[in-house]
């Protein structure tokens, strides 16, 4: 802030963003812009990495070979998406190791939706349609982000995740037209994942102090509540068309606004899970630490091989 040219540079920076230009590594940027991006991108990367765990547990129990290949490919994509995002964050001056250490030591945040358990195969279907569906809405918005590396990672991720949502929706459709037991499986999975999916869009706009600055600098182009409303308007009629329901007795179509409206999210639960007190927080971190330790010999072998060949 002692920089006498700060105001001029800030004005130029904001003009560039207003013109639709991407800010690239090496370009001038306010320190707060860099910090906000590191916070968001590293959380996003960690979410992809932890996001492998709830569904990964079901790979060995897939009902047929096709479903197994689909789920393997989806979980493999999430590992790749974590890498795209760690790369994007690194261009801002944080290292991959710092981010991974913060995750393993329990200091980093990730999407709290992954702190809920997957109790049945239909949860894989509901996660695809609801959780990946919500993620794609958020990521489609972030693809317009003013920071080049984050935008590019989002464009690639959105292109790849289309099938993540569709494979889940396809399963829910089939269950909804199947036996009563299958229909019930689908309904119970939707009941479990509905509220966690709505919480994925983040706190209520009035509790989201970063949003005005993020929007001013083109990091976000829409608010949490706008995206959450778009999700409701797409998903509620879709779920109802299948003869299924959302677990919200107050959900109704508001003629005046043309939007679906339900009851308020349980914000106490939202903050509790974010702060680490969700049903699966400890288990997820333990699984990540074990995976990191179990991979140690691979890293050591690779390093030894490179040294021997070098």
| Residues making contact with another protein (CB under 8 A) | 20-22, 24-28, 66, 69-70, 73, 76-77, 80, 83-84, 87-88, 90, 95-97, 101, 143-144, 148-149, 151-153, 155-156, 159-160, 162-163, 166-167, 169-170, 173-174, 176-177, 238, 241-242, 299, 302-303, 305-307, 309-310
Whose CA is closest to 49, among 87, 76, 72? 76
Instruction: Please report the sign of the dihedral spanned by the C-alpha atoms of residue 118, residue 121, residue 123, residue 128.
Output: positive
CA 12 – CA 160 distance, rounded (Å): 35
Q: Which is nearer to another protein, 198 or 235 (CB)?
A: 235
Shortest distance, position 208 Cβ to another protein, whole Å: 25
What six digits make up the tokens of 235? 């998903």
Give least dist CB 105 to another protein, A: 10
Q: Which of these, 108, 152, 156, 111, lies nearest to 134 by C-alpha position? A: 111
- 180 or 249, CB closer to another protein? 180
Task: Kindly state the smallest distance separating residue 252's Cβ from another protein, in Å.
Answer: 19
**Helix (H/G/I), strand (E/B), else coil: 253:** strand
Instruction: Extract the tokens encoding 85.
Output: 């995002």
Q: How far is the C-alpha of 30 from the C-alpha of 32, rounded, in Å?
A: 5
Output Rg (C-alpha) for the chain, integer angstroms: 21
Q: How far is the CB of 277 from another protein (least distance, A)?
A: 28
Please identify, using beta-carbon distances, which residue of 91 and 213 lies nearer to another protein: 91
Closest to another protein by CB, 3 or 24: 24
Q: Look-up: residue for tokens 């709830």?
A: 54
Displacement of CA 11 from its chain's centroid (Å): 32
Q: Pull the structure tokens for residue 130.
A: 């609801």
At closest approach, how far in Å is the CB of 27 from another protein? 5
Nearer to another protein, 91 or 208 (CB): 91
| Cα separation, 200 vs 114, whole angstroms | 10
The span from the CA of 149 to the CA of 85, in Å, is 9
CB of 220 to another protein, least distance (A): 15
Q: Which is nearer to another protein, 34 or 96 (CB)?
A: 96
**Phi and psi of 261, rounded to 5°?**
-130, 135
* 8 Å CB contact between 31 and 18: no
Beta carbon nearer to another protein, 20 or 209: 20
Q: Residue written as tokens 């968001």?
A: 40
Q: Shortest Cβ distance from residue 159 to another protein (Å)?
A: 7
Distance CA 274, CA 228 (A): 18
Q: Minimum CB separation from another protein for residue 112, in Å?
A: 26
Inter-residue contact 226 to 138 (CB < 8 Å):
no
Q: In the complex with another protein, which residue's Cβ is closer, 208 or 240?
A: 240
């Amino acid at each position: 802030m002692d920089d006498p040219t700060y105001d001029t540079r800030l004005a130029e920076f904001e003009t560039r963003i207003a013109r639709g230009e991407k800010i690239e590594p090496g370009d001038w940027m306010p320190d707060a812009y860099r910090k906000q991006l590191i916070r968001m991108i590293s959380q996003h990367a960690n979410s992809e990495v932890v996001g492998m765990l709830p569904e990964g547990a079901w790979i060995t129990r897939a009902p047929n070979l096709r479903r197994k290949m689909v789920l393997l490919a989806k979980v493999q994509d999430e590992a790749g998406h974590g890498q795209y995002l760690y790369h994007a964050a690194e261009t801002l001056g944080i290292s991959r190791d710092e981010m991974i250490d913060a995750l393993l030591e329990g200091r980093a945040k990730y999407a709290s939706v992954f702190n809920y358990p997957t109790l049945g195969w239909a949860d894989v279907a509901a996660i695809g349609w609801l959780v990946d569906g919500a993620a794609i809405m958020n990521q489609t918005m972030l693809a317009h982000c003013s920071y080049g590396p984050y935008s590019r990672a989002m464009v690639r991720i959105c292109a790849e995740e289309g099938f993540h949502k569709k494979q889940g929706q396809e399963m829910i459709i089939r269950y909804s037209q199947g036996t009563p037991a299958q229909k019930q499986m689908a309904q119970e999975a939707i009941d479990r994942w509905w509220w966690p999916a709505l919480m994925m869009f983040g706190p209520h706009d009035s509790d989201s102090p970063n949003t005005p600055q993020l929007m001013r600098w083109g990091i976000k182009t829409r608010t949490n509540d706008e995206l959450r409303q778009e999700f409701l308007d797409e998903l509620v009629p879709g779920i109802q068309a299948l003869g299924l329901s959302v677990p919200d007795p107050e959900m109704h179509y508001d003629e005046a606004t043309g939007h679906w409206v339900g009851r308020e999210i349980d914000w106490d639960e939202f903050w509790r899970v974010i702060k680490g007190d969700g049903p699966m927080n400890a288990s997820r971190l333990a699984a990540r630490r074990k995976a990191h330790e179990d991979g140690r010999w691979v890293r050591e072998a690779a390093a030894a091989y490179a040294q021997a060949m070098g």
